[in-house]
């Protein structure tokens, strides 16, 4: 039971990070109808900047802020400089450009920093806290949990309680109608990309200290898990990203703890297959048709 409690708590913490990254994919899909396969590479560029800022200033918080800001800037550059230039009648051209961007960014990072994993120290201890003889979350896990919950809560307020959020949602669901109502849809798409990449950069930064370290491919597995979560929940569903992220995080941690790390990807694949057999569009897929 002690092991189960520890693995469950750790799984929830990791699952919320996956949920954040999955939510970033959902935001781009809703804004531009593109699965951004370059999301992991773009996020890792921001993490490299964060690590450099932390090393230069000695402040983890400045590094965290740098990751978020850099992510937003990269998102704007990619949307304005690449995605906007390709045909948008179908998702395929944008996805092909995103795949090409992955190759460029990962190759550039490998050339500049090498293939080795660079250790990234956590800002808080990673040793689990023992309560009543039961190891639970470490201080760093609690920090990750808190940050993820704060960001998810802030996003909920943004999309449901603000004018900007309403414009973002309207532009995603009915862009032509939104234009007639005076909403600058192209600006909303850019903001969606900026917000998405900033969230992805934050999620990658939170995950790196708990993994092998930092290199060009550090967020690849995170992307795979987050993409699985987005498909499980439905690419249009923020709720699906949140719930699916926690479920997948718990499944990965429990399977890794009780059976072995090599079985965890198979468990996630089995879960994905089972859900798609029952609900091909995802568990929380919206039934309403996109109007434009």
Q: How confident is the model at residue 292 (pLDDT cuts 50, 70, 90)?
A: very low
Cα-Cα-Cα-Cα torsion 28, 32, 33, 38, nearest 10 degrees, comes to: -50
Backbone phi and psi for residue 118, each to the nearest 5 degrees, phi listed first: -90, 125
Q: What is the mean pLDDT of residues 135-157?
A: 89
Per-residue confidence (pLDDT) for residue 287, from 0 to 100? 54
Is the pLDDT score of 289 beyond 50? no
Instruction: Find all residues with CB under 8 Å of 67, minimum gap 6, and list them.
Output: 46, 47, 49, 50, 201, 202, 204, 205
| Cβ proximity of 19 and 152 under 8 Å | yes
| Cβ proximity of 81 and 101 under 8 Å | no
Percent with pLDDT over 70 in the chain = 95
Cα-Cα-Cα-Cα torsion 33, 279, 220, 247, nearest 10 degrees, comes to: 120
Q: How confident is the model at residue 65 (pLDDT cuts 50, 70, 90)?
A: very high
The size of the chain, in residues, is 292
Is the pLDDT score of 222 beyond 80? yes
The per-residue pLDDT of the chain, averaged, comes to: 86
Q: How confident is the model at residue 49 (pLDDT cuts 50, 70, 90)?
A: very high
Q: Which of 233, 253, 228 is nearest to 243 (CA)?
A: 233
Q: What is the mean pLDDT of residues 168-177?
A: 83
Q: How confident is the model at residue 19 (pLDDT cuts 50, 70, 90)?
A: very high
Percent with pLDDT over 90 in the chain = 34
Q: What is the mean pLDDT of residues 163-185?
A: 84
Count CB atoms within 10 A of the CB of residue 213. 12
Residue predicted with more confidence, 209 or 46:
46
Residue predicted with more confidence, 103 or 211:
103
pTM tops 0.85, yes or no: yes
231-279, pLDDT tens digit by residue?
888 777 788 888 888 888 888 888 888 888 778 878 888 887 887 787 7
Residue predicted with more confidence, 203 or 278:
203
Count CB atoms within 10 A of the CB of residue 130. 11
Is the pLDDT score of 62 beyond 50? yes
| Cβ proximity of 74 and 202 under 8 Å | no
Q: What is the mean pLDDT of residues 74-96?
A: 86
Instruction: Find all residues with CB under 8 Å of 216, minimum gap 6, and list them.
Output: 41, 44, 105, 106, 107, 109, 110, 113, 115
CATH of 2-123+137-278, one of 2.40.420, 1.10.275, 1.25.40, 1.10.3470: 1.10.3470
87-124, pLDDT tens digit by residue?
777 778 888 899 999 999 999 999 999 888 888 888 99
Per-residue confidence (pLDDT) for residue 290, from 0 to 100? 45
| Cβ proximity of 28 and 34 under 8 Å | yes
Q: How far is CA 273 from CA 3, 163, 253, in A?
A: 28, 38, 19
Tell me how far the alpha carbon of residue 181 is from its chain's centroid: 31
């Amino acid at each position: 039971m002690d092991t189960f409690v520890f693995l469950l708590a750790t799984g929830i913490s990791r699952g919320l990070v996956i949920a954040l990254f999955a939510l970033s994919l959902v935001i781009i899909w809703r804004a531009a109808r593109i699965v951004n396969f370059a999301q992991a590479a773009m996020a890792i560029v921001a993490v490299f900047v964060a690590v450099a800022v932390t090393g230069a200033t000695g402040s983890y918080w400045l590094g965290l802020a740098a990751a978020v800001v850099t992510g937003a800037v990269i998102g704007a550059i990619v949307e304005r400089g690449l995605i906007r230039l390709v045909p948008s009648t179908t998702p395929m051209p944008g996805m092909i450009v995103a795949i090409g961007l992955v190759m460029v960014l990962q190759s550039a990072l490998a050339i500049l920093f090498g293939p080795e994993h660079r250790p990234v120290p956590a800002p808080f201890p990673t040793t689990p806290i023992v309560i009543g003889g039961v190891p639970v979350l470490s201080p760093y896990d609690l920090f990750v949990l808190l940050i993820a919950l704060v960001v998810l809560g802030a996003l909920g307020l943004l999309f449901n309680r603000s004018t900007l959020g309403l414009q973002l949602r309207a532009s995603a669901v009915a862009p032509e109608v939104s234009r007639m109502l005076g909403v600058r849809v192209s600006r909303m798409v850019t903001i969606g990309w900026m917000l998405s990449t900033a969230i992805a950069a934050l999620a990658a930064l939170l995950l790196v200290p708990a993994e092998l370290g930092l290199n060009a491919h550090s967020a690849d597995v995170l992307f795979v898990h987050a993409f699985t979560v987005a498909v499980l929940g439905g690419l249009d569903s923020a709720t699906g990203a949140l719930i699916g992220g926690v479920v997948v995080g718990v499944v990965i941690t429990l399977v890794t703890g009780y059976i072995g790390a090599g079985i965890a990807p198979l468990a996630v694949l089995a879960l994905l297959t089972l859900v798609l057999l029952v609900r091909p569009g995802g568990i929380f897929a919206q039934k309403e048709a996109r109007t434009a």
